[in-house]
Structure 1
Amino acid sequence: MIGSLLPLSLAAAVQPQPDALEKRTRNPRVVMVFAPARDDSRLRRQQALLREARSALDDRDVHVIEVVGDTVAGAHDYATALRQRYAVQARAFGVLLIGRDGGVKLRAEDAVPVERLNTTIDAMPMRQREMRID
């Protein structure tokens, strides 16, 4: 069995690997919206705000993940694991902005205006470099 895997392992090792910066810039920024239930008014408000500003979020390479109750939209993760990882209680509402580096850049317990998200993103060093390149 090991002999049959060796050619595949060698082929994978020979493939060119992107440098660390290229890998990092492929990771989108993430807005995670946590809500206890689909009928939460804060969830509906946040969804409307994000919908209205979709092009601004696209320009900043923002991916939206919703964790509502026990369901997750926009990622292949378990709701419980995400809530635990980001310290958001099951009955709590929360919005997190996660940078390309995986760090939490903003945490709120109510709907966040997109202007606040954009301002926070635009102040990030990696975004500053992106704006100079564009």
Structure 2
Amino acid sequence: MKPLFALFFLVFAASPAAAQDTAPDADVPLIVSAQDVTPDEFLWIKRPLVVFADTPADPRYVEQMGYITDRLDALAVRDVVVVKDTDPAARSAWRQELHPRGFGLVLIGKDGEIYLRKPLPWQVREIVRSIDKLPARQREMREGQAGRS
């Protein structure tokens, strides 16, 4: 009876610790506005996928955000945060650093390097393939980080 009680106690004692490990990621939204964050906030933590447009009514922007919202789960597994910037007049840190012209899609690695620039919408399947080829992502998959696949 005592071993069973000890096992029961260990299971419940470990549960809050596991929940604490995953809580910080749950607090980070997957889609954020460019005015609310800066590129430095994600260095070595997340892979920013920046979607630029001159207006939220741009058909390419609407199409791209549709692709993204349909497959947010695939991006979340790869530590992607989507940064949307549809206000050129705001002169966000993202615009000052990346200098977009009209619609643009930019993938930045955890190391801060630009790995992808596209002038047209891309399916999430294609974005995910590009991410999975990155050296840092390859390492994550080899090491089998918790919560990653």
Q: Same fold (TM over 0.5)?
A: yes
1:32 equivalent in structure 2 = 50
Post-superposition shift, 1:113?
1.1
Aligned pair partner of 2:93 in 64, 77, 81: 81
2:114 equivalent in structure 1 = 104
Identical residues among aligned pairs (%): 34
1:1-134 paired onto structure 2 within 5 Å? 25=44, 27-70=45-88, 79-89=91-101, 92-134=102-144
Partner of 1:95, secondary structure, is strand
Letter in 2 for 1:84: Q
Post-superposition shift, 1:70?
4.2
CA distance in structure 2 between the partners assigned to 1:44 and 1:109 by the alignment: 14
CA distance in structure 1 between the partners assigned to 2:143 and 2:93 by the alignment: 37
CA distance in structure 2 between the partners assigned to 1:128 and 1:65 by the alignment: 23
> C-alpha deviations, 1:8-60, integer Å up to 9, x for none?
xxxxxxxxxxxxxxx964x1001000000011111111111001111100100
CA distance in structure 2 between the partners assigned to 1:119 and 1:93 by the alignment: 21
Post-superposition shift, 1:80?
4.2
Distance 1:24 1:133, change over 3 A: farther
Post-superposition shift, 1:82?
2.0
TM-score (norm 1): 0.70
Partner of 2:100, secondary structure, is coil
Distance 1:24 1:87, change over 3 A: closer
Contact 1:67 1:79 in 2 (8 A): no
CA distance in structure 1 between the partners assigned to 2:99 and 2:84 by the alignment: 15
Partner of 1:119, secondary structure, is helix
CA distance in structure 1 between the partners assigned to 2:106 and 2:125 by the alignment: 14
TM-score (norm 2): 0.64
Letter in 2 for 1:126: A
Moved over 3 A (4+): 78-81
CA distance in structure 2 between the partners assigned to 1:116 and 1:108 by the alignment: 11
Contact 2:43 2:112 in 1 (8 A): no
2:33 equivalent in structure 1 = none
CA distance in structure 2 between the partners assigned to 1:104 and 1:131 by the alignment: 21
